[in-house]
Structure 1
């Protein structure tokens, strides 16, 4: 079984001080995709290249203390690719792809961090630009190889994906345009043409148990006023290998909960 975890760290230094590495020793994932590393190469060198026996591969933002993604893996990749070809968003450190290709198979594990538009209209427009650019990249990937993309998508797709959906319909993360983008990506009217939301494949109707992010405001965590922002998005053949999903809500390494899915897959 291939155990794949995704977690927005909200800073790798912060998350490790809260016990992340010890937890990984216990969980023993094959790969963990991380977002919001909030570090540079110089910060990682000599301290975070490995965690719990997993080798890290990263895409750092040019801006210090901002964004950044990584994949820690037990398995040696055949290739590592950073960025997806966008001058604007590759500078923000939002995409790293590890390829595990063999003569019989092309397979990628991707860690991605979608922009948030919650800080204001300027960043919301940047988010829309990212979505417009990123969709054709994913469609191209789907046509060329099998893959699983893990990441903080910063979109709650359906009403069951957040607690207060009625009051959030005009807020970033649940805007009609964002939700329509997800629907288009998943091709819910023709699954053979799109990607698969793996958690929803396994748990099509869960609500409160599905949340992966809670605001630091008010009593959101205590009252489970959450959002499902963290996803595994997979090509259909990979999604069909998914066997079980776990959201570790009691692990408070950041304001996100780790999402782990087990796949009947051997690298």
Structure 2
């Protein structure tokens, strides 16, 4: 069994000051994907003794950054999602592992948050386009793949508590959600925005484990009482290839016991895979 976790840490140094280290060492994880690390190698390494670390920091200090921690070393890694029109450092990190004789590929991904009517939203769509091109290549590379992280899109109304009030907000726009219709669809898929395209056939492990229920949410605004009232968004995913999804045995969100025990505004997503 391989236990894989993913979490947007919202700044790894602050997260460790608030208690992330206890979660990391007590969870029995084999592989942990981090997003929004917002640090350099020399900042992250001292925090994770006993772990092998792959880290792709953003070009601009204090921004983005993705990492993969593992108990056993990877055999290869890549950071190029294939997008040359703007800087994608700190947003895409692929790592290959040998589990027995099985090749397992994990991806720590941090999709742009976007902002309606701004260049940030254009960047988000370009990044999602690149994901759509990379996903089939990953399936060709390895039968067992999981793309995980803060993908910054709530796919359906089940993924956002206040979905009616957010239909024109970045993160729940029909055009964004349509990408996920295709990521998780099979055959020819008509997205929620009316655009038709071929489905990629990946599995949303969280939704497969919790069909037709609200959430379980993974992010809550820092404002007001969002966490206390569970007014959240499910924007953190483990998106698995069919072969890997078939051996997923448990999915959970490590929701914090209370507002004052949180070490990030995102909660970790944890899945056991029987490899």
TM-score by length of 1: 0.91
Deviation at 1:187, TM superposition (A): 1.4
- Partners of 1:152 and 1:190 lie apart in 2 by 26
Partner of 2:27: 27
Deviation, 1:89, is 5.4
Q: Does residue 232 of structure 2 align to residue 226 of structure 1?
A: yes
Does residue 263 of the first structure (1) align with residue 268 of the second (2)? no
Distance 1:190 1:202, change over 3 A: farther
Other-structure match for 1:153: 151
**Which digits, 9 at most, give the CA deviation of each residue in 1:232-266, with x for residues without a partner?**
0011000011011111111611100011011101x
Aligned partner of 1:206 in structure 2 is 213
- Which residue in the other structure is 1:242 paired with? 248
Cα shift at 1:42: 3.7
What's the counterpart of residue 252 of structure 1? 262
1:71 aligns with 2:78: no
Matches within 5 A, 1:1-267: 1-45=1-45, 47-48=46-47, 50-51=48-49, 53-88=50-85, 90-101=87-98, 104-118=101-115, 121-145=118-142, 146-188=144-186, 193-208=200-215, 210-250=216-256, 252-265=262-275
State the match for 2:192 in structure 1: none
SS of the aligned residue for 1:100 comes to strand
Partner Cα distance (1:90, 1:104) in 2: 35
| Alpha-carbon distance in structure 2 between the residues aligned to 1:14 and 1:120 | 32
Distance in 2 separating the partners of 1:185 and 1:18:
35
For 1:263 and 1:185, locate their aligned partners in 2 and report how far apart those are by CA, in whole Å. 21
Aligned residues, how many? 261
C-alpha deviation, 1:90, in angstroms: 5.0
Q: Distance in 2 between matches of 1:87 and 1:57?
A: 22
Q: Any idea what SS the aligned residue of 2:146 has?
A: strand
The answer as to whether partners of 2:79 and 2:89 remain within 8 angstroms in 1 is: no
Q: 1:62 Cα deviation (Å)?
A: 0.5
Q: Give structure 2 stretches of 5+ with no counterpart.
A: 190-198
